[in-house]
Amino acid sequence: MYITTPIYYVTDSPHIGHAYTTVVGDALIRFYRLAGEDAWYLTGTDEHGLRIARAAEELGLTPQQLVDDVSSQYRDVWSSLEISNDDFIRTTDERHKRGAQAFLQTLYDNGDIYAARYEGLYCVPCEDYYREEDLLEGGLCPIHNRPVERFSEDNYFFRLSKYGDALLAHIEANPDFVFPPTRRNEVVGFIKQGLEDFSISRASLAWGIPIPWDEKQVTYVWVEALMNYATAIGYGQDEGQFHKWWPAVHLVGKDILRFHAVIWPAMLMAAGVEPPRQIAAHGWLLVGGEKMSKTALNQIAPRQLMETFGVDGYRYHFLRDVSFGPDGNFSWEGMVDRYNADLANDLGNLANRVLNMVERYRAGSVPAVAGSEESDQKLRAAASGALEALGGFRRFAFNDALLEVWRLFGAANAYVEENAPWALAKDPDRAGRLDEVLNALLESLRVGAILISPVMPNAAGRLWGQLGLEGRPDTAPYTKTAVFGVFPELTVRRGDPLFPRIEEG
Ligand code: MSP
């Protein structure tokens, strides 16, 4: 399983929109690892193009200084968000340059790249050409609401027009190729309108990768950026590694769907490489109902939220409260409510209560004995329901899966009330039952720690330690470990509360 995020432009510092894609991908890759599958997670930064060259100039920096600085901000944020990427590609890496040149040369040798004169209207922030009729009144870019520029030069073109039928056939034969289905329909509609060849190089832009057969031209940013998914795993340099991981699952925002679901698969077909396994597109994360942007001054940096919610609270919120596909609205109040209800109360209090009782009534150790009353059976059923639901990650159904895991914690809380361990503790004849009850509760927490580990690796690890378990909660495969069995006799070590309550104010 090879999963990628888009490579982020280094003109912007990381905000919660970028982090959304990266956190989703991380939960997904951790899920696949937990399922015992071989998995590779790639993210990185997109560092070439006119936009970057101009931004550097404005700041009085060289392009290299600018990209080094912002790229490292991305790496720092990903590490504080516990992102477990296996690799980080920068389009300024030598390996990317060599791989991209090999890729282009193949397209050229196969006859799908040709020279022609280009004249068009170009939006620099989009790094894309526009047709007159797609502009807003006054000739403004529909995305950036600012004037486009007229460019005219000799360029190389990619024969995209040749691939419409092959793309439609591929989508038809692979219904999950574009996910969710509404996005697949959008892509099919777009292809059916007819695809046009497009320019892939620029004569005037110095901050890019030289075209191998004509060093006066450099590659055009989108085509060059897309190739990162191939160059990072060794395209043109290490075929063994490339074929080990290819084809990829690409996670993207809806804004860049066409590049990934139309242009990129066509480029791969032209190069004789199999298309990606899947393109999964999510919506926008809105702040106050609007898309985040520098000009709207509504960008939120992940750190601003992590200070209050911690890394686990952060990751949990975006997976639990934003469904993958439609736009989602971020609200501080919503995040506080979710944290207090699910993390501080349902899970945090449960853990605290159970560990406390084990210490009080059993000096920290409970023998491995399982009960068979009706309440035990109900709790076990909730645990197997939660295990089953985790498989929803394969369909990007993170929120449904988490809801089901929380049903297990809800069932464990109800089980405490039903069995009233404090009453059992007073009755020496019921000492055996008390052991069973505490054992079942520790089991619920152990299974829960495993099931939350893709989303909250840090909290899962802490809970594991508090249960007195050795090793890690994310040992694969979870289908063997996250089952109610017998809790080995262990000594719990109650530590700090997992999720201290957040007081609103
Ligand atoms: N560099 C290109 C991608 C090249 S991939 C070969 C690019 N970069 S970007 O930094 O502008 O945006 C990358 C991705 O960040 C978006 O597709 C999306 O996944 C994510 N998001 C950026 N803003 C977002 C929101 N407000 N909400 C959710 N995701 C958003 O495009």
Per residue in 18-62, pLDDT tens?
999 999 999 999 999 999 999 999 999 999 988 888 889 999 999
Which residue's alpha carbon is nearest to atom 23 within ligand 1? 17
Residue ranges of domains in the chain: 340-481
Q: What's the whole-number average pLDDT of the chain?
A: 95
Per residue in 398-407, pLDDT tens?
999 999 999 9
Q: How far is the CA of 474 from the centre of ligand 1 (A)?
A: 29
- HEC string of 332-388? HHHHHHHHHHHHHHHHHHHHHHHHHHHHHHHCCECCCCCCCCHHHHHHHHHHHHHHH
Q: Whole-angstrom Cα distance, residue 218 to residue 109? A: 17
φ, ψ of residue 470 in degrees (nearest 5): -90, 165
- In CATH terms, 340-481 corresponds, of 2.60.120.330, 1.10.730.10, 1.10.3720.10, 3.90.1150.10, to 1.10.730.10
* Confidence (pLDDT) at 505: 60
Amino acid at 85: N
* Confidence (pLDDT) at 53: 86
Per residue in 413-455, pLDDT tens?
999 999 999 999 999 999 999 999 999 999 999 999 999 999 9
pLDDT band at 205 (very low <50, low <70, confident <90, very high): low
Q: How far is the CA of 17 from the centre of ligand 1 (A)?
A: 7
Q: Which atom in ligand 1 lies closest to the alpha carbon of residue 286? A: 26
Point out which residues pair with 412 in neighbouring strands: none
Per residue in 295-353, pLDDT tens?
778 899 999 999 999 999 999 999 999 999 999 999 999 999 999 999 999 999 999 99
Angle of CA points 239, 244, 247, to nearest 5°: 100
Strand-strand pairing, 278-282 and 178-179: parallel
List, chain by chain if needed, residues with CB within 6 Å of any ligand 1 atom: 6-9, 12, 17-18, 20-21, 46, 225-226, 228, 252-253, 255-256, 284-285, 291-292
% the chain with pLDDT above 70: 99
Nearest to 316 by CA among 505, 454, 408: 454
* Confidence (pLDDT) at 259: 97
